[in-house]
């Protein structure tokens, strides 16, 4: 089945005694046990361990990413942390240099103290990645398109490199979403998501997920960490995120179409120093993006204004319809000066702005950008 149909039918198999089209919200933290058996394997008995709303969402997430099993967490950061918690003291991780800044902070400020070492490399260059493996490398952590520079790396090539060296490949697929890119079908082992972004899609719920290509040792560890450590997604957030996810393919494709129009406009404007978008022929990995992604290149355009940070911030203040806020993947167009939010030492250029095009019409957004640039 295509992703559109999986999502549109996502709730149809739900059985409810009242025949409701949409599942109810199961707020109950405990579930009645039919007898005095202590064996509760597979059954609902306590919501941290298993909840019907979470099961429905996890099942759909596994299907749309072509995985065997999925786990929902209270945030994308909790999902990332859970994957890293499967590793041990003395292990090593290779990470995309252009990874979400929170992943870098989690590794450097939490896991480093626990003896997990990490090397950040430019994963656009496979030979650089190949050189970075050590005997104790367990995970290759990729993000493509990378955030916010939108660099691309080769998922099938790099995951096979990692497999040959006994490491698994984890991909943060938040930016592309399974509509545009399917890492597990390209040989990667684990996908993580911030459901807060495009999958939830309405800027009203925080969530995360881990999806494993296969059930096995790693997925069992992740399940244990989820249910024992307890950073689980609440029933209401599961419900809200699934409600949002049902329109994911439409939203993602529409915003990708508009993002390309906006990127084309920006890339030819004299007040723009550089425009980064994988769908532009000028992007250094345009060919690879075409091979690896489908139906578009995502709803985010990053661009550098001619001038400094001050100039970039002034430009934002002149925008009338694009919302000045962090995050991305919501319905509303939003823009952010990344250097202001990322920790000190961030490699993001000081004149870079990241635009999430949302579902606004491209014509209106271009008009807003054009007026602000003219001033």
Ligand X SMILES: *Cc1c(COP(=O)(O)O)cnc(C)c1O
Query: By CB under 6 A, is residue 100 in contact with ligand X?
Result: yes
CB atoms within 10 A of CB 113: 8
Site string for ligand X, 259-298 (x = CB under 6 A): ----------------------------------------
Site for ligand X in 172-231 (CB under 6 A): 172, 174-175, 194, 196-197, 206, 208
Kindly determine how many residues on this chain lie close enough to bind ligand X according to the rule CB under 6 A: 14
Site for ligand X in 153-172 (CB under 6 A): 172
Which is nearer to ligand X, 100 or 303 (by Cβ)? Answer: 100
Contact 296, 180 (CB under 8 A): yes
Q: Identify the residue whose tokens are 């545009």.
A: 180
Which is nearer to ligand X, 355 or 366 (by Cβ)? Answer: 355
**CA atoms of 357 and 329, how far apart (whole Å):** 8
To ligand X, the closest distance from the beta carbon of 250 in angstroms equals 21
Which is nearer to ligand X, 65 or 172 (by Cβ)? Answer: 172
To ligand X, the closest distance from the beta carbon of 275 in angstroms equals 20
DSSP string, 138-204: EEEEEESS-TTT-----HHHHHHHHHHTT-EEEEE-TTTHHHH--GGGGT-SEEEEETTTTTT-SSS
Which is nearer to ligand X, 172 or 189 (by Cβ)? Answer: 172
Which is nearer to ligand X, 147 or 365 (by Cβ)? Answer: 147
To ligand X, the closest distance from the beta carbon of 116 in angstroms equals 18
**CA atoms of 177 and 165, how far apart (whole Å):** 27
Which is nearer to ligand X, 141 or 303 (by Cβ)? Answer: 141
Q: Which stretch binds ligand X (CB under 6 A): 2-10, 72-80, 115-123, 277-285?
A: 72-80
Cα 179 to chain centroid, rounded: 12
Which is nearer to ligand X, 100 or 111 (by Cβ)? Answer: 100
To ligand X, the closest distance from the beta carbon of 157 in angstroms equals 21
Site for ligand X in 11-50 (CB under 6 A): none
Query: By CB under 6 A, is residue 65 in contact with ligand X?
Result: no
Query: By CB under 6 A, is residue 299 in contact with ligand X?
Result: no
Closest CA to 335 of 367, 360, 357, 361: 357
Contact 331, 315 (CB under 8 A): no
To ligand X, the closest distance from the beta carbon of 330 in angstroms equals 12
**CA atoms of 184 and 212, how far apart (whole Å):** 8
Residue whose CB is nearest to ligand X in the complex, by number: 76
CA angle 52, 73, 180 (to 5 degrees): 100
Closest CA to 192 of 82, 356, 329: 82
- The residues that bridge with 47 in the sheet, in sequence order, are none
Q: Residue numbers of the site for ligand X (CB under 6 A)? A: 75-77, 100, 102, 147, 172, 174-175, 194, 196-197, 206, 208
């Amino acid at each position: 089945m295509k992703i559109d149909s999986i999502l549109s039918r996502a709730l149809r198999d739900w059985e409810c005694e009242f025949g409701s089209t949409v599942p109810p919200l199961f707020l109950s933290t405990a579930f009645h046990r039919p007898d005095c058996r202590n064996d509760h394997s597979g059954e609902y008995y306590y919501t941290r361990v298993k909840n019907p709303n979470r099961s429905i969402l996890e099942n759909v997430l596994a299907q749309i990413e072509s995985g065997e099993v999925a786990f929902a967490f209270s945030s994308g950061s909790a999902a990332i942390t859970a994957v890293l918690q499967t590793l041990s003291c003395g292990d090593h991780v290779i990470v995309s240099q252009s990874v979400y800044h929170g992943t870098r902070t989690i590794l450097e400020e939490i896991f480093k103290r626990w003896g997990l070492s990490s090397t950040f490399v430019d994963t656009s260059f496979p030979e650089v990645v190949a050189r970075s493996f050590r005997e104790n490398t367990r995970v290759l952590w990729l993000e493509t398109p990378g955030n916010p520079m939108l660099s691309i790396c080769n998922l099938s090539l790099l995951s096979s490199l990692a497999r040959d060296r006994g490491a698994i490949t984890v991909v943060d697929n938040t930016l592309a979403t399974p509509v545009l890119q399917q890492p597990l079908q390209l040989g990667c082992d684990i996908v993580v998501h911030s459901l807060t972004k495009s999958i939830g899609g309405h800027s009203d719920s925080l969530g995360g997920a881990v999806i494993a290509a296969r059930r096995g040792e790693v997925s069992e560890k992740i399940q244990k960490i989820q249910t024992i450590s307890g950073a689980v997604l609440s029933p209401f957030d599961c419900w809200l995120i699934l409600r949002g996810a049902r329109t994911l393919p439409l939203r993602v494709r529409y915003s990708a179409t508009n993002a390309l129009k906006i990127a084309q406009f920006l890339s030819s404007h004299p007040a723009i120093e550089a425009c980064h978008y994988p769908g532009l022929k000028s992007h250094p990995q345009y060919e690879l993006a075409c091979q690896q992604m489908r139906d578009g290149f995502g709803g985010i355009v990053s661009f550098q204004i001619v001038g400094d940070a001050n100039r970039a911030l002034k430009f934002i203040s002149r925008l009338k319809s694009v919302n000045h806020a962090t995050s991305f993947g919501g319905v509303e167009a939003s823009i952010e000066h990344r250097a202001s939010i990322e920790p000190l030492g961030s490699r993001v250029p000081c004149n870079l702005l990241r635009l999430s095009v949302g579902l606004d019409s491209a014509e209106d957004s271009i008009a807003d950008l054009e007026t602000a640039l003219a001033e």
